[in-house]
Amino acid sequence: MIKKREALSNSPVSPLKKLREELGLSQEGFARQIGTSARTISRWEAGDSIPTFTIAQMKSLDLLLRANDKTLEDLPDRFAPLD
């Protein structure tokens, strides 16, 4: 059984979540765009796992960012919530 984390109003926001919301995408939409699952995006945003990307996923992410006037340089160094 997967234990669901309680959302706290004062909990830190993931830089990845902030970026994803700036792009106007849900976890599912963002995942679809870069070729992964919404569950993986959720884990990255929560800091439960460290992101790893295939070359194809990096190319997809680069295209997504460039279509929104951003670059890979705009990505945060960490995707997990900052304390």
Which pTM value belongs to this model?
Answer: 0.79
> If pLDDT is split at 50, 70 and 90, which confidence band does 80 have?
confident
Which CATH number do you get for residue 27?
A: 1.10.260.40
Number of domains in the chain: 1
Flag whether 57 is in a domain.
Answer: yes
Flag whether 24 is in a domain.
Answer: yes
Q: The domain containing residue 39 runs over which residues?
A: 15-74
Q: Three-state DSSP class for 48?
A: coil
The alpha carbons of the chain give a radius of gyration, in whole angstroms, of 13
Flag whether 39 is in a domain.
Answer: yes
Mean pLDDT (whole number) for 45-73: 94
